[in-house]
Amino acid sequence: MSAKPSAKYALITGASRGIGRACALRFAREGWHVFLNCRSSLDELEEVQEEIQKHLPGDCTLVPGDVGSPADVRQIFEKIYQICPCLDVLVNNAGIAHMGLLTDMTDTEWQRLLDTNLSSVFYCCRSAIPPMVTRKQGRIISISSMWGTVGASCEAAYSAAKSGIHGLTRALAKELAPSGIQVNAIACGVIDTAMNGWLSPEENQELKEEIPTGRFGTPEEVADLVWQISHAPHYMTGQIIGIDGGYI
What's the average pLDDT block by block, 10 residues per block, for the chain (248 residues)? 71 98 98 97 97 97 98 98 98 96 98 98 98 98 98 96 98 98 98 79 89 96 98 98 96
Residue 138 lies in a domain: yes
Residue 248 lies in a domain: no
pLDDT value, residue 196: 76
pLDDT value, residue 157: 97
Taking the C-alpha atoms of residue 147 and residue 141, their distance in angstroms, rounded to an integer, is 17
The reply to whether 247 belongs to the active site is no
Residue 2 lies in a domain: no
pLDDT value, residue 198: 65
Residue type at position 218: T
pLDDT value, residue 2: 53
Contact 190, 247 (CB under 8 A): yes
Beta bridge partners of 217: 191
Residue 124 lies in a domain: yes
Residue 43 lies in a domain: yes
How far apart, in Å, are the Cα atoms of 65 and each of 15, 94, 232?
Answer: 11, 11, 30
pLDDT value, residue 67: 98
Contact 32, 4 (CB under 8 A): no
Closest CA to 182 of 246, 149, 231: 231
Residue 35 lies in a domain: yes
Residue 3 lies in a domain: no
- Helix, strand, or coil (residue 100): coil
Residue 22 lies in a domain: yes
pLDDT value, residue 163: 98
Domain boundaries, position 164? 9-242
pTM, to two decimals: 0.96
Strands, sheet with 59-62, edge to edge from the N-terminal-most edge strand: 59-62, 33-36, 9-12, 89-92, 138-145, 181-188, 240-243
pLDDT value, residue 42: 96
What is the tally of structural domains in the chain?
Answer: 1
- CATH number of domain containing 203: 3.40.50.720
